[in-house]
Structure 1
Amino acid sequence: MRGAVPRLSLALLAAESGARLCAIIHYFVRGQLGWFGLTIACLVPGYAAQLLSILWFRADGHPPGCWLLALHLLQLGLWKRYWDVLRAEAGGGAGEVLAQLGDVCVLRLLEALLQTLPHLLLQTYVVVAVDPAGFIPGVSAGLSLLSLAWALVSYSHFTCLLRPGHLSPPAAVTLCLLLWRTGMLGTRVLALVLFARLYSFWVFAVAGVHWLLMSFWLVAQQTDIVAQPCRWRLFNCLLGAVYIFCYINVRPGPSKARVAVFYAVSTWDILCCTWM
Structure 2
Amino acid sequence: MIEVRDLSKKYGTTTAVDRLSFTVRPGQVTGFLGPNGAGKSTTMRMMLDLDRPTTGHVLIDGERYRRLSDPLRRVGALLEARAVHGGRSVYDTLRWPARSNRIPEARVREVLELVGLAGVAHQRAKGLSLGMAQRLGIAAALLGDPPVLLFDEPVNGLDPEGILWIRNLMKDLAAEGRTVFVSSHLMSEMALTAEHLIVIGRGRLLADTTVAAFIEANSRSCVLIRTPEPDRMRAALAGVGVRVERAADGALEAYGTRAAAVGELAAAQGLTVHEVSTRQASLEEAFMRLTGEAAEHRAGGAR
TM-score tier by shorter-chain length is under 0.3
Q: Which has the higher helix share?
A: 1
Q: Which has the higher strand share?
A: 2
| Higher relative contact order structure (alpha carbons within 8 Å, sequence separation ≥ 6) | 2
TM-score normalized by structure 2? 0.23
